[in-house]
Structure 1
């Protein structure tokens, strides 16, 4: 019998970040907001993401219930990713965060990030 671990969270923000964790999930949610996309379409919609990382993020998002993965049995195989209702609900609360980022993008780009993050050892 497989043992499952149940997580507890300190607050709602902690729980939301656990589901959203990672740099790419928000961008994947954004890319899928208007409908299903195939893997290659997602890859083109999200610049700079590696194929490996995209695969891992999609698997995690499917496991958490944010995404639906539909396999069409045809030749060549076709797989489409779409947001679930749970994913749409998260995307809707991410929109104001994106608007805040757009509003402050110049200020954020001017931050000297190299001085804020200590170098990796």
Structure 2
């Protein structure tokens, strides 16, 4: 069966294509590929953590960046926020089942980075030397 151009466009709309600018899958990839997302997810691996504990576990994360990252993860259904009324108010975060499923992939990326970092560092050094030689 031959499809008209309009039918092809409609069929294509049913499938996500992360290469397209406005594709929801692309937007999600952009959101979850942040280094802060990766570090927060790894910090939550062992269970609930307070906001203040997460700041200690993630050196270099400002309070603003951490809060923004946690809100984004909560919005995407990857993290749950628990507020306990006390003085001061206690806020804890934990991964959802969806977040745990992403954590598996993050672990694979982390392991890959640790396994290949020496080779990547050597490649970077060689590349930079080569560029300096021709500039």
Number of aligned positions between the proteins: 107
Gaps of 5+ in 2: 1-14, 19-24, 129-135
Distance 1:103 1:16 in 2: 27
24, 33, 57: which one aligns with 2:45: 33
User: How high is the TM-score relative to the length of structure 2?
Assistant: 0.70
Q: Does 1:65 align with 2:77?
A: yes
Alignment of 1:91-102 (within 5 A): 91-102=103-114
Over the aligned positions, Cα root-mean-square deviation in angstroms equals 2.4
Gaps of 5+ in 1: 1-7, 116-121
Q: Which has the higher contact order (CA 8 A, sep 6+)?
A: 1
Alignment of 1:39-54 (within 5 A): 39-54=51-66
